[in-house]
Amino acid sequence: MQQPGTTTTLSKEMQDCVDACMSCHSICEESMSSCLQMGGQAQMQIMRALMDCTEITRICADMMMRRSPMAAEMCRMCARACDMCAEACMGMPEDPLMMRCAESCRRCAEMCRTMAGAAA
């Protein structure tokens, strides 16, 4: 039974943030795979940032979709992880995939910061 005043769909802003998180999650996974194939060329700092980002974006999206009371706090952490990942990816400017990953991370960080502020 639905409580009065609740909706069954996410707001457009929250859905956009979920979409940004899932997009970022996907490209971080793809970038990790690419780094692993490069072998020694991939720096451990980049791999750690990609691993952190791929996990936290998925968790953040999950928490928003289930309307967790901790979603805003997770969005703040997600924004921080995405910023760190974008910075790490910028360490490989010659790699177009890493540049796309950095762009996706920046977009996700911006949307998560907005969501964290909106819920505050």
Does the global pTM surpass 0.75?
A: yes
Say how far apart CA 108 and CA 76 lie, in whole Å.
11
Q: Which residues contact 71 (CB under 8 A, 6 or more apart)?
A: 60, 63, 64, 115, 119
Picking from 120, 91, 119, the residue whose alpha carbon sits closest to that of residue 105 is: 91
Token match 């760190």: residue? 84
The CATH number linked to 60 is 1.20.1270.360
Backbone angles phi, psi at 42, to 5 degrees: -80, 125
Percent of the chain with pLDDT over 70: 88
Number of domains in the chain: 1
Q: Which structural domain, as residue segments, surrounds residue 63?
A: 12-29+41-119
Task: Look at residue 68 and tell me if it is in a domain.
Answer: yes
Task: Look at residue 6 and tell me if it is in a domain.
Answer: no
Is a pLDDT exceeding 70 seen at residue 2? no
Is a pLDDT exceeding 50 seen at residue 13? yes
Task: Look at residue 74 and tell me if it is in a domain.
Answer: yes
Task: Look at residue 2 and tell me if it is in a domain.
Answer: no
Read off the pLDDT of residues 41-79 as tens digits, 9 standing for 90 and up: 567 889 999 999 999 999 999 999 999 999 999 999 999
For the chain, the average pLDDT equals: 89
Task: Look at residue 1 and tell me if it is in a domain.
Answer: no
Task: Look at residue 7 and tell me if it is in a domain.
Answer: no
